[in-house]
Structure 1
Amino acid sequence: MRRLSTLSFVLLASCAATGHPDNLETQPGEYGYQAQYRDIDVSRAEAGFLKSARLNSEICLPYRGGAYGTKISGVANTLLGERLSRNDLVEVRIGSDEDLGGNYVISRDGTLKMPFLPPIRAQGRSTSDVERDLKNTLIAEQLYDTAPSVSVRIMDVASALVGVSGAVFEPHQVELGGVSGDQLDTGRQEALGASTEARNLSAALRASGGVRPDADLSAVELRRNGRLYTLDLRGVFQGHNMVDVMLLTGDQVFVPSRQCFQDDLMRPSPISPPGVSVFMSNLTQPATGNAISAIGRNVREMPYGTRYLQAIVDLNCVGGSRATSAHRSGLLLSRNPISDVSIAIERDIEDMLRRADRDDYDPFILPGDSVACYDSTITNVAEVARVLGLIGVGLLLNE
Structure 2
Amino acid sequence: MTHKTIAILITASLLGGCATMERPANAIGSQYAPQQVEATGEGFRSCHATMTPADLLAGGQVASHMFASTPDLLASGDRVRLKVAGDEDSLSRTYVLAANGTITLDGRVTILLAGRSIVEAERAIASELVEAGLIRGLRNSVRLQLLELGGISVAVSGAVFEPGMIRVGERNPETRGVNLSNSDSGDSNANRSLTTTLRAAGGVRPDADLSAVYLVRGKQWTKIDLNGAIYGSAIEDIALTANDRVIVGSRACFQDDLVKPSQITAPGIRVYMSNLSRPASNNASSAINRDATNLPYGTRLSQAMVAANCVGGSAMNAARKVVLMSRNPISGQSVVIQRSVEKLVRQDDRDGRDPYLMPGDSLACYDSFAMNMRDVISLVGETASPYFLLKNLD
TM-score by length of 2: 0.85
User: Once structures 1 and 2 are overlaid, which stretch shifts more, 261-270 or 92-101?
Assistant: 92-101
Instruction: Please tell me whether residue 302 in structure 1 is matched to residue 310 in structure 2.
Output: no
Q: Secondary structure at the match of 2:257?
A: helix
- Aligned equivalents of 1:74 and 1:140: distance in 2? 36
- Aligned equivalents of 1:318 and 1:268: distance in 2? 26
Instruction: Please tell me whether residue 60 in structure 1 is matched to residue 47 in structure 2.
Output: yes
Aligned pairs (5 A) from 1:40-189: 40=39, 59-62=46-49, 73-75=62-64, 77-79=66-68, 80-98=70-88, 99-115=90-106, 118-142=109-133, 143-179=135-171, 185-189=176-180
Instruction: Please tell me whether residue 196 in structure 1 is matched to residue 186 in structure 2.
Output: no
- Aligned equivalents of 1:195 and 1:6: distance in 2? 78
- Aligned equivalents of 2:47 and 2:209: distance in 1? 10
- Aligned equivalents of 2:231 and 2:174: distance in 1? 39
Instruction: Please tell me whether residue 258 in structure 1 is matched to residue 257 in structure 2.
Output: no
Aligned counterpart in structure 1 of residue 12 of structure 2, from 9, 14, 22: 9
Q: Secondary structure at the match of 1:164?
A: strand
Contact 1:259 1:338 in 2 (8 A): yes
Sort the Cα spacing of 1:73 and 1:219 in 2 relative to 1 into closer, same or farther, 3 A. Answer: farther
Offset from partner CA, 1:139-180 (integer Å, 9 cap, x none): 444521422243322222222222222211112222222247
Aligned counterpart in structure 1 of residue 229 of structure 2, from 219, 229, 236: 236
Larger Rg belongs to: 2
Q: Secondary structure at the match of 1:61?
A: coil
Question: Which residue matches 1:18?
Answer: 21
- Aligned equivalents of 2:248 and 2:51: distance in 1? 11
Contact 2:79 2:97 in 1 (8 A): yes
Q: CA deviation at 1:254?
A: 1.9
Q: CA deviation at 1:128?
A: 1.7
Aligned pairs (5 A) from 1:244-323: 244-284=237-277, 290-321=283-314, 323=315
- Aligned equivalents of 2:83 and 2:120: distance in 1? 15
Sort the Cα spacing of 1:281 and 1:144 in 2 relative to 1 into closer, same or farther, 3 A. Answer: same
Question: Which residue matches 1:69?
Answer: none
Q: CA deviation at 1:81?
A: 3.5
- Aligned equivalents of 1:398 and 1:34: distance in 2? 59
TM-score by length of 1: 0.84
Contact 1:64 1:218 in 2 (8 A): no
Q: Secondary structure at the match of 1:198?
A: coil
Q: Secondary structure at the match of 2:355?
A: coil
Contact 1:82 1:196 in 2 (8 A): no
Q: Which runs of 5+ in 2 are unaligned?
A: 53-60
Question: Which residue matches 1:36?
Answer: 35
Contact 1:107 1:113 in 2 (8 A): no
Question: Which residue matches 2:330?
Answer: 338
- Aligned equivalents of 1:292 and 1:7: distance in 2? 33
Q: CA deviation at 1:384?
A: 1.4
Q: Secondary structure at the match of 1:305?
A: coil
User: Once structures 1 and 2 are overlaid, which stretch shifts more, 118-127 or 209-218?
Assistant: 118-127
- Aligned equivalents of 2:247 and 2:337: distance in 1? 31
Q: CA deviation at 1:396?
A: 5.6
Matched letter for residue 21 of structure 1: P
Q: Secondary structure at the match of 1:217?
A: strand
- Aligned equivalents of 2:248 and 2:329: distance in 1? 14
Contact 1:335 1:341 in 2 (8 A): yes
User: Once structures 1 and 2 are overlaid, which stretch shifts more, 262-271 or 14-23?
Assistant: 14-23
Q: Which runs of 5+ in 1 are unaligned?
A: 42-50, 66-71
Offset from partner CA, 1:250-295 (integer Å, 9 cap, x none): 222222211111111001012211312111111038x996212221
Sort the Cα spacing of 1:230 and 1:305 in 2 relative to 1 into closer, same or farther, 3 A. Answer: same
Sort the Cα spacing of 1:208 and 1:319 in 2 relative to 1 into closer, same or farther, 3 A. Answer: same
Question: Which residue matches 1:47?
Answer: none
Offset from partner CA, 1:106-156 (integer Å, 9 cap, x none): 133223432287544321222122123333444444521422243322222
- Aligned equivalents of 1:229 and 1:201: distance in 2? 13
User: Once structures 1 and 2 are overlaid, which stretch shifts more, 382-391 or 356-365?
Assistant: 382-391
Sort the Cα spacing of 1:160 and 1:360 in 2 relative to 1 into closer, same or farther, 3 A. Answer: same
Instruction: Please tell me whether residue 360 in structure 1 is matched to residue 363 in structure 2.
Output: no
User: Once structures 1 and 2 are overlaid, which stretch shifts more, 292-301 or 381-390?
Assistant: 381-390
User: Once structures 1 and 2 are overlaid, which stretch shifts more, 261-270 or 273-282?
Assistant: 273-282
Contact 1:25 1:343 in 2 (8 A): no
- Aligned equivalents of 2:24 and 2:374: distance in 1? 25
- Aligned equivalents of 1:348 and 1:308: distance in 2? 11
Aligned counterpart in structure 2 of residue 207 of structure 1, from 200, 203, 206: 200
- Aligned equivalents of 1:81 and 1:354: distance in 2? 56
Matched letter for residue 18 of structure 1: M
Question: Which residue matches 1:381?
Answer: 373
